[in-house]
């Protein structure tokens, strides 16, 4: 490849929603990066400004509308990028169609979870992995869980640290807990609320703030709060941007997330950088970088013991500061998503078809 040529790379995402994939994608804006023309395209959702020669902005509201995928496939074929990166299974459908209709396009299957959400997810990702020139993952856990040993030669891990955040200064720890992310079943918020109810029994002044957009899961969680008699201690704060999340984090001391499965878990990474003490399930990559008693508390089946540990760390501010300092230090100097993706793109386009 002539180093003076400009190579086009397109990252396809189902919708510009709230989640680790979308937040990470926003940290690498559309533009030219030393010979790479990088753009994002969404299958559906809100209208976004697109001033390029080929208009890739979505016009359909729902990713479940098959016409949205058909339209984007047609538009991408007109755009004719050299490489297409597909995040999440709906994007892989578009990517596979493009690969079938324009075989010279390099396809990248980008994995963001250590397990499939359902059969369609599993099947489409399986086909995408087979047909791809490269497989990227946000974590070693995602690679282990979804890529066979025979295909590891074309796989690489992409850093999912989107920004280096500054930890807030905190006084003596208090039983104030926070979560941010999608309010969806895989995040295990019902489990988190039950655990918080146990915490509240031991610490009546405990508070739990949940940050995230409304969803079909939310009414059930509100009802669960009523049944657990914790309505007055749990606040559903709606969606917030990263600056607002950082402000909310500064008012809290613990990050509580009991996901059923994960990839890298960007929100946990952010929480650690912001100086919160994570209380998490060791799913996906979380179990690798969250070390129980060192920089986090790991959730197991013994809620009463965990509550005692939380009460103990609140009573020992020096131990709390030691653990949160360890959490912050873990990500200091870690490479950023933007740099990791651009490096992977350059390696991809320099490889022969």
Residue 55: pLDDT band (50, 70, 90) is confident
Domain boundaries, the chain: 7-162+335-350, 176-330
Residue at token pair 């074309």:
154
How many Å apart are CA 72 and CA 59, to the nearest integer? Answer: 10
pTM of the predicted model as reported, rounded to 2 decimal places? 0.86
Are 180 and 267 spatial neighbours (Cβ–Cβ below 8 Å)? Answer: yes
Question: Is the four-CA dihedral 23, 24, 25, 26 of positive or negative sign?
Answer: positive
CA 162 from centre of chain: 10
Residue 57: pLDDT band (50, 70, 90) is confident
Are 84 and 98 spatial neighbours (Cβ–Cβ below 8 Å)? Answer: yes
CA 329 from centre of chain: 21
Using one digit for the tens of pLDDT, what is the confidence trace for 164-213?
999 998 889 999 999 999 999 999 999 999 999 999 999 999 999 999 99
Radius of gyration of the chain (CA): 21
Are 131 and 123 spatial neighbours (Cβ–Cβ below 8 Å)? Answer: no
The secondary structure of the chain in percent helix, strand, coil, rounded to multiples of 5, reads 45, 20, 40
Residue 352: its pLDDT value, please? 63
Integer CA distances (angstroms), 85 to 98, 116, 222, in order = 11, 18, 37
pLDDT above 70: residue 35:
yes
Topology given in CATH for the domain delimited by 7-162+335-350: Rossmann fold (3.40.50)
How many Å apart are CA 251 and CA 176, to the nearest integer? Answer: 8
Using one digit for the tens of pLDDT, what is the confidence trace for 267-324?
999 999 999 999 999 999 999 999 999 999 999 999 999 999 999 999 999 999 999 9
Residue 51: pLDDT band (50, 70, 90) is low
Are 165 and 196 spatial neighbours (Cβ–Cβ below 8 Å)? Answer: no
Q: What is the dotted CATH code of the domain comprising 176-330?
A: 3.40.50.2000
Those residues whose C-beta lies under 8 Å from the C-beta of residue 260, and which sit 6 or more positions away, are 185, 186, 187, 188, 281, 283
Give the three-class secondary structure for 280: strand
Are 177 and 256 spatial neighbours (Cβ–Cβ below 8 Å)? Answer: yes
Using one digit for the tens of pLDDT, what is the confidence trace for 135-173?
999 999 999 999 999 999 999 999 999 999 999 988 899
Residue at token pair 């709060």:
225
Residue 1: pLDDT band (50, 70, 90) is very low
Asked if domains 7-162+335-350 and 176-330 share a fold, the reply is yes
Output the DSSP codes for 155-220. Answer: EEEPP-----PPPPP--S--SEEEEES--SGGG-HHHHHHHHHHHHHH-TT-EEEEE----TTHHH
Using one digit for the tens of pLDDT, what is the confidence trace for 64-109?
999 999 999 999 999 999 999 999 999 999 999 999 999 999 999 9
How many Å apart are CA 60 and CA 62, to the nearest integer? Answer: 6
């Amino acid at each position: 490849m002539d180093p003076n040529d400009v190579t086009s790379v397109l990252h396809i995402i189902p919708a510009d929603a709230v989640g680790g994939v979308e937040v990470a994608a926003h940290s690498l804006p559309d533009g030219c990066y030393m010979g790479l023309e990088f753009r994002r395209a969404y299958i559906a959702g809100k209208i976004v400004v697109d001033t390029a020669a080929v208009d890739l902005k979505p016009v359909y509201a729902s990713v479940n509308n098959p016409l949205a995928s058909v339209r984007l496939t047609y538009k991408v074929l007109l755009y004719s990028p050299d490489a297409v990166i597909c995040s999440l299974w709906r994007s892989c459908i578009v990517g596979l169609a493009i690969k079938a209709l324009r075989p010279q396009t390099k396809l990248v299957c980008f994995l963001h979870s250590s397990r499939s959400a359902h059969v369609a997810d599993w099947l489409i990702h399986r086909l995408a992995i087979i047909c791809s020139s490269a497989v990227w993952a946000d974590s070693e856990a995602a690679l282990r869980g979804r890529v066979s040993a025979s295909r590891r030669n074309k796989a690489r891990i992409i850093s999912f640290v989107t920004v280096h955040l500054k930890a807030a200064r905190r006084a003596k720890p208090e039983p104030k807990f926070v979560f941010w992310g999608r309010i969806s079943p895989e995040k295990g918020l019902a489990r988190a609320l039950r655990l918080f109810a146990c915490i509240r029994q031991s610490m009546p002044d405990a508070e739990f703030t949940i940050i995230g957009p409304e969803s079909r899961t939310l009414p059930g969680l509100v009802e669960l709060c009523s049944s657990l008699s914790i309505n007055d201690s749990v606040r559903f704060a709606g969606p917030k941007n990263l600056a607002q999340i950082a402000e909310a984090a500064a008012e809290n001391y613990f990050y509580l997330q009991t996901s059923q499965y994960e990839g890298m878990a960007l929100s946990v990474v952010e929480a650690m950088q912001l100086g919160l003490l994570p209380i998490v399930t060791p799913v996906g990559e979380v179990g690798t970088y969250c070390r129980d008693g060192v920089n986090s508390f790991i959730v197991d089946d013994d809620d009463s013991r965990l509550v005692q540990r939380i009460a103990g760390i609140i009573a020992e501010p020096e131990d709390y500061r030691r653990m949160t300092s360890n959490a912050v230090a873990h990500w200091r100097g870690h490479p950023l998503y933007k740099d990791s993706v651009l490096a992977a793109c350059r390696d991809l386009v320099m490889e022969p078809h």
